Structure 1
C-alpha cells in the first residue's frame, strides 16, 4: 500500500465516523420531533407543522428544504403537500392544507430531508420524521 493511501484512508474513516459530509456541523443529534396543530381537523382545513430544530448545538451548513407528505393510514395514497425552508438550527414552521377528499381517521405528516433519513438507502430502514393528527368526520 502506498504511504499516501494510508493517510487518505484514515481521513475518509474519520470523516465517516464523525458524520461529516451530511451538511451538519457543531453537534451529533437529531432535530426535535415536529408537531401538528391542531391535532384534530376537518378535511379541507389547514394545519401547522413545526419543529424547534436540533436538540444540541448542531447546525445545517447549507440551505435546506424538507419535503412533506400527508398519509392517511391505508385509507388513501399519500399526498405530497409541499416543501418547507429549514433554518440553520433545524427549525421550521409551515401551514399546509389537508386535502378536501381526506377521509376521517388517523393521519400523519411525514418529512423527508432531515438527519432522520441520512444515510438511508434501499437496503436499510429509515426512521420516520413526522407527526400524527386526526381528520375529523364532516359536520
Structure 2
C-alpha cells in the first residue's frame, strides 16, 4: 500500500466514539478499511466523514438505530445503509453485510466482509448508545 493510503488509528482499543490515537499509530489495509467504514457509520447523514462539507448522500449515525425500537425493517435498513457506506470507501471492491440486534441490551452487531485492493477483509461493528466499537477479525 502506498503512503497516501495510510491512516491514523481513530478507535483506540476498538472502542468509540472515535478519537485520534494519542500515539498517532498508522494503520493500513484491512484495518484502515474497517475504520473508514466505521467512521462513515458514526457520521450524521449529510456530512462526509473527516470533512466539514455538505455531502447529502454520505453518512449514517448508527447509534440512532439502537436508541429506538429495533424492528426487522430497521435492521434491514441499517444493513442496507452500512453496505452503501462500505461501497463508498476507496479500496473496497465488494462488501457483504449482516446485522443482528438485541433490543433489551440496546445493541446492534454488524458483520462486514468483502474484498478490496489489498485482498479480503472482515470486521465487526458493535453499536450501542455509548458509541461504536470496531473489531477486525
TM-score by length of 1: 0.31
Larger Rg: 1
Tell which has more relative contact order, 1 or 2 (C-alpha 8 A, sep 6+).
1
Higher helix share: 2
